[in-house]
Chain A
């Protein structure tokens, strides 16, 4: 099972928006509404930012939003702040045999 495809990097100025894509197949992203997004600062554990495509856990700012179209999911960070600079990984449910696949990761830089 291959990793989901994400762009290696993305950037935006403070206050602007950045959108990260996560492309899979009909067996994972396209087949289920179970895409999650994780933020990871250097040397730290991942943090759940979005689950079930577009739901935000308690405490996650509404600047973070998720969406999906076909086999591609996306994470948008609006009103970029310095603390948003981190690596972001998507994940999708992929069925009972190999349940979860992660994305390749995107490093977001705040200019």
Chain B
């Protein structure tokens, strides 16, 4: 079964850091672009970052540039998101998503909640 499972979320104070992980299974992880997206409570979806199969290309949404870092370990079938200098507006459910169709996201994890609050 193709599956993505996020972990590492929780409550963090403004200015703090958190590292999200996404464990992939059921497909050749190293063959796919991988993405992080997020959804603030009661709001719409927002794409956050992505990384090419071999890590040679990385993109971020403007609002997280310089604060978030996406990475992957193909040997461990895992995707990561290091989030620094967190702000209240980063509060959201964070999703890991596979770029399995051209410029679309065909497999999503169940999501993990990140709350930035004092």
Contacts and interface: CB of A to CB of B under 8 A. Distances in A.
B101 interface: yes
Contacts of A36: 101, 103-105
Interface stretch (A11-19, A78-86, A90-98): A90-98
Given A36-B103, A48-B101, A51-B101, A105 B95 contact: no
B103 A100 contact: yes
Contacts of A52: 101-104
Nearest to A52: B102
A38 B61 CA distance: 20
B45 A46 contact: yes
B101 A104 contact: no
A48 B104 contact: yes
B104 A47 contact: no
Given A48-B101, A51-B102, A38 B111 contact: no
A99 B70 CA distance: 15
Given A100-B47, A102-B44, A1 B62 contact: yes
A103 B46 CA distance: 9
Interface string A27-42: 0000010101010100
Most chain A CB neighbours (cut-off 10 Å) among B95, B101, B104 = B104
Nearest to A6: B44
Given A32-B103, A51-B104, A91-B104, A99 B111 contact: no
Interface of A: 1, 3, 32, 34, 36, 38, 40, 44-48, 51-52, 55, 57, 89, 91, 93, 96-105
Interface of B: 35, 44-47, 50, 59, 61-62, 95, 97, 101-106, 108-111
Given A45-B108, A51-B104, 19 more contacts: A34-B104, A45-B109, A48-B104, A48-B105, A48-B106, A51-B106, A52-B101, A52-B103, A57-B106, A98-B59, A98-B61, A99-B47, A100-B47, A100-B50, A100-B103, A102-B44, A102-B45, A104-B44, A105-B44
